[in-house]
A and B are shown apart, each in its own frame.
Chain A
Amino acid sequence: MDVSADTLRSLHRTMLTIRLFEQRVAREFRTGEIPGFVHMYIGEEAVAAGICANLRDDDYVTSTHRGHGHCIAKGCELDAMMAEIYGREDGLCKGRGGSMHIADFSRGMLGANAIVGGGIALATGAGLAATVRGTDQVAVAFFGDGAANQGVLHESLNLAAIWRLPVIYVCENNGFAESTPAAYATSVADVASRAAGYGIPGTIADGRDVLEVLAAARDAVARARAGEGPTLLEVKTYRFMGHFEGDPEKYRDDEERKELTANDALGSLEARILADGHASEADLDALRGEIEAAVDHAVEFARASAFPDPSTIERYVYPEQVAQ
């Protein structure tokens, strides 16, 4: 695929930001300072980066419990994201949501979602809103292979198909629904093949190659913007870490992990950028340093932010309480 140097560098920046952000979250999580639990996106960066590179600020995404990567790719600020993960007042959701419920409506990021498949119908509705308003906005529903077996996906695919809604259903097939292999839980080898049941295109991209994801998403987004309806896009990917931080991962196969992590999309992209002369080792080191500094800043920002005042526990249940 023919892509510009700027595009390659932009994809790389997004993927590296996700990687470094997630590595830091994992590290800080082990200190006990981050409440609750976190689900790392490491290994899957090419999906969020490749898809969201085709989106505008006014397009919508719905995300999953493993949502940090989608937030970053959709343009959320690292400081406010990290503060949310730390449960602080300066977080994107003022500490009311946490890692599994980060949202930034100003960026069209309609929320990470801790119900498997929970965002799928919402993205369908966001696509409906665009259709009713007559705009060319699109909506992307990110979900995992686990959600591929939720009824709401099937209801949503059907609804989007009959109404030709501008929605891209992106299945991030990372091989496991928590510990249950997709190969066991899913009746077909490729989730994308289920698109045939709804008369819509079902395409597959290799999540080890961000350019393949980019190209597949470009086609699907173009279709959606042109009013030609939804696409089910399955990206074969692999999560390098556990379902959640602290997962003993006894269901994993070391050989399989070794093989799949060896084909890291981020590493492949860096190799290509270097080989094509779009950046030097020094440039990449400088970029890494810049992002590490931004992540450091985000952690400092989060730590310096106050916890929400307990007297505000009832605020935000209803919108009229926002102004209080």
Chain B
Amino acid sequence: MAVATERSLSMVNAVGEAMRQAMEADPTVIVMGEDVVGGAGRGGSKENAMGGSFGATKSLYPLFGGTRVRDTPISEAGFVGAGVGAAAAGLRPVVDAMWADFTGLAFDQIYNQAGKMSYMFGGQVRLPLTIRVAMGSGLSAAAQHSGTLYAIYTHLPGIKVVVPSTPYDAKGLLLEAIFDDSPVLFFEHLKLYVAKGPVPQDPYRIPLGVAEVRRAGSDVTIVAIAAMVGRALEAAELLAGEGISVEVIDPRTLSPLDEETILGSVERTGGLVVVDESPPHCSVASEIAAVVGEKAFDSLNGPVRRVTAPHTPVPFSPSLEEAYAPSVQAIVDAVRTIC
């Protein structure tokens, strides 16, 4: 729960503050990626012209300089791999890969190297690497700048996956991710970047693997991921008007997944709807549905419903993109089929 505070920050500034505080606390934390400085090497006012594609790293270069805050060339395999190697050699790199879709260029470095090193090497190595990416539809960024991809990384042993839905969580989870000794993929939803929410100034951490109940209810459980949490809450409000009491769970991290909170909720409500802004095949929605089907089947009063994107890339045209991510109406409709 957010502690009482007067201060409001956007998610983009919350993650920026987390990185700044991590760098202040630990000299081995470095930040690198495309345009995390901007205008690198030009000097004067031209330098730090970007501070990240979305401004998250803007405060870092003036404070910590070019040794610890590094613009990279556009070569994801090279700089993500260098992040892996630097982590293996004792740093805590925070690598900005800009968009989730771009991680494909560095997939070997994440999947075959970072994710397997602890296991392959019998626990000899800690790999405290954080890879930050933006994701999500809704800005007509089209097929190669909108994908979520967290399902891919949730599939991989050795990798942790974080999907914050509030500025408060984004700061606490990013600080935790940076100081975690495993590689963490940290997904920041573009549609959540600007909205402000309460964020305490002092550093704090939120453990990975602990879900948050965003709204308590008794008739049906909705598990919603990242930007879908807000839509699930809207749906819950509408359904409350019809006398349906909805519990909304934000898992906050997908790997590890807080199964206990989800299962405990379903055991009480008897119904589950999972809302996931991703294609449905082998999705996180499917995984959560499977977990509940296996472990809480006897509690279910009806089928588990997955409300997902269609099995397509993210379309460009606003009319199509509007139909891509699950709508509040689609969530309401799914709940009605089992309540």
Q: How far is the CA of A111 from the CA of B67 in the complex (A)?
A: 26
> A158 near B78 (CB under 8 angstroms)?
yes
A residues less than 8 Å from B28 (CB atoms): 132-133
Tell me whether A60 is interfacial, beta carbon within 8 Å.
yes
Tell me whether A202 is interfacial, beta carbon within 8 Å.
no
Q: How far is the CA of A204 from the CA of B100 in the complex (A)?
A: 40
> A94 near B122 (CB under 8 angstroms)?
yes
How many chain A residues touch the partner (CB < 8 A)? Answer: 49
Q: How far is the CA of A318 from the CA of B114 in the complex (A)?
A: 11
Residues of A94-131 at the interface with B, using a CB-CB cut-off of 8 Å, are 94-97, 101, 103-105, 110-111, 113, 115, 118, 120-131
Q: How far is the CA of A181 from the CA of B82 in the complex (A)?
A: 29
Interface flags for B62-96 (1: CB within 8 Å of A; 0: not) read 00000110101101011111111111111101000
> A93 near B121 (CB under 8 angstroms)?
yes
B residues less than 8 Å from A321 (CB atoms): 123
Quick one: which of B78, B89, B121, B182 contacts A103, CB cutoff 8 A? B121
Q: How many A-B residue pairs have CB under 8 A?
A: 156
Q: How far is the CA of A262 from the CA of B85 in the complex (A)?
A: 39
Tell me whether B244 is interfacial, beta carbon within 8 Å.
no
A residues less than 8 Å from B83 (CB atoms): 125
Quick one: which of A93, A115, A133 contacts B112, CB cutoff 8 A? A115
Closest B residue, CB atoms, query A105: B124
A14-22, A31-39, A149-157, A205-213 - interface stretch = A149-157
Residues of B198-229 at the interface with A, using a CB-CB cut-off of 8 Å, are none
Quick one: which of B67, B77, B81, B90 contacts A131, CB cutoff 8 A? B67
Q: Which of B75, B85, B181 has the most CB of A within 10 A?
A: B85
Interface flags for A154-198 (1: CB within 8 Å of B; 0: not) read 011011001100000000000000000000000000000000000
Q: How far is the CA of A96 from the CA of B123 in the complex (A)?
A: 9
Q: How far is the CA of A131 from the CA of B121 in the complex (A)?
A: 25
> A93 near B124 (CB under 8 angstroms)?
yes
> A92 near B117 (CB under 8 angstroms)?
no
Tell me whether A277 is interfacial, beta carbon within 8 Å.
no
B residues less than 8 Å from A118 (CB atoms): 108, 112-113
Tell me whether B120 is interfacial, beta carbon within 8 Å.
yes
> B91 near A152 (CB under 8 angstroms)?
no
> B81 near A124 (CB under 8 angstroms)?
yes
Quick one: which of A60, A96, A158, A163 contacts B121, CB cutoff 8 A? A96
Tell me whether B30 is interfacial, beta carbon within 8 Å.
yes
What would be 27 A-B contacts, judged by CB atoms less than 8 Å apart?
A60-B89, A92-B121, A93-B120, A94-B122, A105-B124, A110-B89, A110-B125, A120-B81, A121-B77, A121-B85, A122-B81, A122-B85, A124-B85, A128-B82, A128-B86, A129-B86, A132-B68, A152-B78, A152-B81, A152-B108, A155-B78, A156-B78, A318-B181, A318-B182, A319-B125, A319-B182, A320-B181
Given A103-B124, A105-B124, A152-B81: 12 more A-B contacts, CB < 8 Å: A93-B120, A93-B122, A97-B122, A110-B125, A122-B82, A124-B78, A125-B88, A156-B82, A159-B75, A162-B73, A316-B118, A319-B181
A interface residues (Cβ-Cβ under 8 A, vs B):
60, 62, 91-97, 101, 103-105, 110-111, 113, 115, 118, 120-133, 139, 151-152, 155-156, 158-159, 162-163, 315-322
